[in-house]
């Protein structure tokens, strides 16, 4: 994706629209075309920024210069002065005053770049993924060389710990602490596994990493193996990821030829051999113990924990399991240092997060932005706003097992601590943006249908709970639900979270809880009034039997 050098944001709150914001956007695009800047500058919209005195308001990034009020007739002058000649359009400058909320965050964000801030995806799209020499030319394998020739294994672990890197699979567990656990576990053989079984609906960020920069994953795995004392590792990849599989397989061969994998890496006594294994399509194998069972040739079912994989993992040996995104941060951390990494994101959640964004928005795809960004910023800046006629209603923030959050929480910083305090989950990084035409009950029914199908059936709370929850929600969508069943849904949700054997059952009830916490009025409309406010649900009314 081509990086734009600048971005123009135009306020599009109701008052701005009344004052001509739509015409202003069109005029700005026309002016950019006139100066042949349309390929260098993006035009997008932003919501209320707390400056009712200067609407419509325009902010030009990366300088964060605020203009306003700006009329459509001012567009050519603004573009000519600021974007073409590179100087401030002084006649349109807004009087100084602090911008509120999310825009204020953007102005103070150190190193903010509207074209994203990339760590994990730094090379994706810029290098030939099939050419190891291209990867090497872009600092490839420098971090591995530094680790095995200049650092002890414990120094590598301490560096990862100091960086504050947390697992990007959803739980947010400190990566360095997990590495330390495996390093300290007793065992004559240890393994490292890359969890690339990306089966969360709506999530394809790891696929972009593996297809665009496969050697980065290999380098990270080799560093992790050196740190924990492993000489063998596996990449467990989703079976449907054919291109990623082929590129990783080729990358392994190339790395072995260049001496970055195999024996005596960088002329040291460190040996590391890497294998790739394709899964068979089971969602539950994204859970680390089910993944390990599958690697061992067994049915992919989660193990009872404890013991944990850090002490009793693959073939009962100490095993480190990290996902693709978590591992892909490691080479940059070793190259640039932990303080560099901690300067990105928030103090409690350093670094960046890779998101897949989709739904009722103008741009869908993959973005990488600092931790702590808000959902409103993602929608207005990176997704280029809601589609015409759409109003933001809710978002699912982490795939099927993530949280459904209402508009009231769209200014909550998206980091592990802030989301935890708000009672929601960051999840895998899939952002499904829904407008006013999406029915919450129908959405939850679809999610429960997925969970009941993907449950491995090993434990009763998940096997029965997902089925019974689906049946109740399906009745509600047909206008046949009962109010007392809502309490039953919450009781089952609590029991599934408490007693299920793995994360699938423990999080399968999250959509139900969020639905009843944030959208209960809409749910009760289906039951009390027999209507679906969005008109999505069929609301089938049972007819009385005709007299004999």
In angstroms, rounded to a whole number, what is the distance separating the alpha carbons of residues 297 and 316? Answer: 14
Q: Can the peptide bond before residue 69 be classed as cis, meaning omega within 30 degrees of 0?
A: yes
Q: What is the pLDDT of residues 350-391, one digit of tens each?
A: 999 999 999 999 888 999 999 988 898 888 888 888 888 899
In angstroms, rounded to a whole number, what is the distance separating the alpha carbons of residues 524 and 508? Answer: 22
Q: What pLDDT does 201 receive?
A: 83
Mean predicted confidence (pLDDT) in 205-234: 97
DSSP conformation class of 285: G
pLDDT at 200 over 50: yes
CATH topology agreement for domains 132-339 and 344-435: no
DSSP element (H, E) containing 507: helix 503-508
Residue ranges of domains in the chain: 6-108, 132-339, 344-435, 440-529
Q: In this structure, are residues 514 and 452 in contact, taking their beta carbons and an 8 Å threshold?
A: no
Q: If you search the block for the tokens 């002016």, which residue do you land on?
A: 31
Q: What pLDDT band is residue 503 in, cutting at 50, 70 and 90? A: confident
CB atoms within 10 A of CB 271: 15
Q: What pLDDT does 248 receive?
A: 98
Q: What pLDDT does 425 receive?
A: 83
pLDDT at 108 over 70: no
Q: What is the pLDDT of residues 223-249, one digit of tens each?
A: 999 999 999 999 999 999 999 999 999
% of the chain surpassing 70 pLDDT: 93
Q: In this structure, are residues 9 and 59 in contact, taking their beta carbons and an 8 Å threshold?
A: yes
Beta bridge partners of 67: 58, 93
Pairing of strands 58-61, 65-67: antiparallel
Residues constituting the chain: 548
Q: What pLDDT band is residue 217 in, cutting at 50, 70 and 90? A: very high
Q: What pLDDT does 253 receive?
A: 98
Q: What pLDDT does 102 receive?
A: 41
Q: In this structure, are residues 119 and 329 in contact, taking their beta carbons and an 8 Å threshold?
A: yes
Identify which of 445, 388, 397, 447 has the alpha carbon closest to the alpha carbon of residue 423.
397
Q: What pLDDT band is residue 48 in, cutting at 50, 70 and 90? A: low
Q: If you search the block for the tokens 């423990």, which residue do you land on?
A: 506
Q: What pLDDT does 101 receive?
A: 42
Q: Can the peptide bond before residue 468 be classed as cis, meaning omega within 30 degrees of 0?
A: no
Tokens linked to 350: 């350093």
Mean predicted confidence (pLDDT) in 428-457: 93
pLDDT at 435 over 50: yes
Q: What is the pLDDT of residues 308-323, one digit of tens each?
A: 999 999 999 999 999 9
Q: What angle do CA 382, 173, 199 make, to 5 degrees?
A: 60
* Mean per-residue pLDDT over the chain, rounded: 90
CATH of 6-108 among 3.30.930.10, 3.30.1490.20, 3.30.1600.10, 3.40.30.10? 3.40.30.10
| CATH number 3.40.50.11540 given to 132-339 | yes
Mean predicted confidence (pLDDT) in 440-453: 94
Q: What pLDDT does 106 receive?
A: 45
Q: What pLDDT does 13 receive?
A: 77
pLDDT at 423 over 90: no
pLDDT at 542 over 60: no
Q: What pLDDT band is residue 545 in, cutting at 50, 70 and 90? A: very low
For 234, 261, 272, the CA distances from 218, given in Å and listed in that order, are: 10, 9, 11
Q: What are residue 161's phi and psi, to 5 degrees?
A: -65, -45
Instruction: Find the Cα–Cα–Cα–Cα dihedral 357, 359, 363, 368, rounded to 10°.
Output: -10
Q: In this structure, are residues 375 and 410 in contact, taking their beta carbons and an 8 Å threshold?
A: yes
Q: In this structure, are residues 193 and 243 in contact, taking their beta carbons and an 8 Å threshold?
A: no
Q: What is the pLDDT of residues 277-307, one digit of tens each?
A: 999 888 889 899 999 999 999 999 999 889 9
Mean predicted confidence (pLDDT) in 248-255: 98
Q: What are residue 37's phi and psi, to 5 degrees?
A: -110, 5
Domain spanning 344-435, CATH class: alpha beta
Q: What pLDDT does 49 receive?
A: 63
CATH of 440-529 among 1.20.1440.230, 3.40.1350.10, 1.20.1250.20, 3.50.50.60? 1.20.1440.230
């Amino acid at each position: 994706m081509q990086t734009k050098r600048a971005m123009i944001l135009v306020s599009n709150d109701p008052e701005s629209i009344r004052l001509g914001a739509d015409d202003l956007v069109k005029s700005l695009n026309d002016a950019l075309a006139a100066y042949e800047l349309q390929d260098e500058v993006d035009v997008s919209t932003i919501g209320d920024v707390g400056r009712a005195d200067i609407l419509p308001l325009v902010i030009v990034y990366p300088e964060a210069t605020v203009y306003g009020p700006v009329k459509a007739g001012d567009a050519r002058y603004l573009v000519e002065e600021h974007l073409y000649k590179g100087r401030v359009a002084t006649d349109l400058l807004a009087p100084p005053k602090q911008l509120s909320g999310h825009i204020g965050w953007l102005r103070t964000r150190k190193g903010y770049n509207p074209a994203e801030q990339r760590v994990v995806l730094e090379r994706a799209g810029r290098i030939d993924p099939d050419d190891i020499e291209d990867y090497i030319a872009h600092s490839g394998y420098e971090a591995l060389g530094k680790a095995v020739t200049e650092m002890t294994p414990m120094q590598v672990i301490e560096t990862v710990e100091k960086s504050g890197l947390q697992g990007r699979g959803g739980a947010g567990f400190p990566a360095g602490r997990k590495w330390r656990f495996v390093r300290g576990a007793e065992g004559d053989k240890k393994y490292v596994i890359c969890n690339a079984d990306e089966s969360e609906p709506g999530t394809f960020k790891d696929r972009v990493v593996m297809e665009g920069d496969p050697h980065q994953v290999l380098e990270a795995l080799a560093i992790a193996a050196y740190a924990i004392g492993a000489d063998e590792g596996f990449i467990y990849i989703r079976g449907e990821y054919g291109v990623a599989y082929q590129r990783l397989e080729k990358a392994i061969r190339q790395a072995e030829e260049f001496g970055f994998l195999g024996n005596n890496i960088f002329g040291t006594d460190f040996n590391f051999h890497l294998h790739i294994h394709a899964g068979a399509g089971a969602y539950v194998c994204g859970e680390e113990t089910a993944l390990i069972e599958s690697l061992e040739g067994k049915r992919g079912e989660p193990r009872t924990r404890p013991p944990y994989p850090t002490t009793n993992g693959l073939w009962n040996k100490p095993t480190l399991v990290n996902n693709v995104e978590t591992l892909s941060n490691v080479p940059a951390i070793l190259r640039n240092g932990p303080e560099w990494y901690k300067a990105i994101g928030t103090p409690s959640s350093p670094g960046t997060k890779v998101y897949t964004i989709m739904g009722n928005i103008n741009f869908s795809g993959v973005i990488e932005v600092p931790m702590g960004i808000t959902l409103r910023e993602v929608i207005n800046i990176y997704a280029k706003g809601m589609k015409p006629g759409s109003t933001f209603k809710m978002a699912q923030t982490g795939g099927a097992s993530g949280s459904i959050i209402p508009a009231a929480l769209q200014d909550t910083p998206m980091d592990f601590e802030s989301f935890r305090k708000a009672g929601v989950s960051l999840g895998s990084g899939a952002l499904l943006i829904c407008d006013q035409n999406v029915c919450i009950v129908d959405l939850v029914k679809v999610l429960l249908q997925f969970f009941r199908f993907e449950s491995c059936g090993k434990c009763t709370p998940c096997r029965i709970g997902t089925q019974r929850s689906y049946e109740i929600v399906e009745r509600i969508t047909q206008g046949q639900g009962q109010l007392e069943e809502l309490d039953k849904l919450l009781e089952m949700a609590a029991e599934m979270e408490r007693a299920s054997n793995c994360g699938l059952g423990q999080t399968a009830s999250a959509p139900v809880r969020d639905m009843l916490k944030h959208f209960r009025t809409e749910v009760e409309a289906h039951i009390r009034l027999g209507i679906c406010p969005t008109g999505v649900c069929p609301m089938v009314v049972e007819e009385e039997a005709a007299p004999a």
